Amino acid sequence: MLHPSFVTVDDIKEVKAPIAVLGAEIDKMSPPELVKQFEEVLSAKPEVDSHVKIFPGVAHGWTVRYNEEDEAAVKSAEEAHQDMIGWFTKHVK
């Protein structure tokens, strides 16, 4: 789930399939504190393969709306893209 806006902890408690949550450090819709709660819930569910990561220094939408002149922004977006490709390669057959 690359766009965790409007997702609640209760939603995450119901997850039964593999999931990836990539969050931004600067995000009013899904603040890092909430994404960390998602991680705690998922960590308590060993039957669900999960990957939760918060990208430092980036804001909501960083994977698609970034300044191509900003090396750090490009690196964060590319890292998120690779994380998702890895997740799809592992879980979607």
Please report which residue ranges of 6-70 form alpha helices under DSSP H: 9-13, 32-43
Strand locations in the chain (E):
19-26, 50-59
**How far apart, in Å, are the Cα atoms of 90 and each of 17, 49, 54, 57, 66?**
13, 10, 20, 28, 27
Rounded Cα distance, 54 and 41, in Å: 15
State residue 1's pLDDT score: 67
State residue 43's pLDDT score: 98
In tens digits, what is the pLDDT along the chain, a chain of 93 residues? 667 789 999 999 999 999 999 999 999 999 999 999 999 999 999 999 999 999 999 999 889 888 899 999 999 999 999 999 999 999 997
Q: What 3-state class would DSSP assign to 23?
A: strand
State residue 42's pLDDT score: 98
